[in-house]
Amino acid sequence: DAGITQSPRHKVTETGTPVTLRCHQTENHRYMYWYRQDPGHGLRLIHYSYGVKDTDKGEVSDGYSVSRSKTEDFLLTLESATSSQTSVYFCAISESVMVLAGGNNEQFFGPGTRLTVL
């Protein structure tokens, strides 16, 4: 299994409080992603990173920010949590996106963080 950990694994918080989720990898992969999973929606991309300090928005980025100061860590922050952000959050990593050059663009997923905002 790819070395990906997420912390915390479970969190309950109140509306309006800040929350930070951490994704840590030991694979030295360049690309990292944050997804949220909700019933009836599958997984949707929040933000992704293509290198240290290089990040970009995904499909559902409103209300979320990210930071990547080291290759191994990708943080997802909810500045002021809302009930609509109750979800399961998955981190993923990928070695490459350059398949035609022989790279492997498979994304490996972490175990997830279940966040409940009351």
Q: Which is nearer to another protein, 15 or 55 (CB)?
A: 55
Residue 27 engages another protein in binding (rule: CB under 8 A)? no
Q: Residue 6: name the closest of 51, 63, 65, 72 by CA.
A: 72
Output DSSP code: residue 103: -
Residue 110 engages another protein in binding (rule: CB under 8 A)? yes
Q: Which is nearer to another protein, 58 or 63 (CB)?
A: 58
Cα dist. 103→32, 61, 64, 79, 97 in Å? 15, 27, 30, 35, 7
Helix (H) or strand (E) holding 56: strand 54-57
The pattern of x and - marking residues 76 through 95 that bind another protein according to CB under 8 A reads --------------x---x-
Task: Give the binding site for another protein (CB under 8 A).
Answer: 31, 33, 35, 40-45, 48, 50, 56, 58-59, 90, 94, 97, 99, 105-112
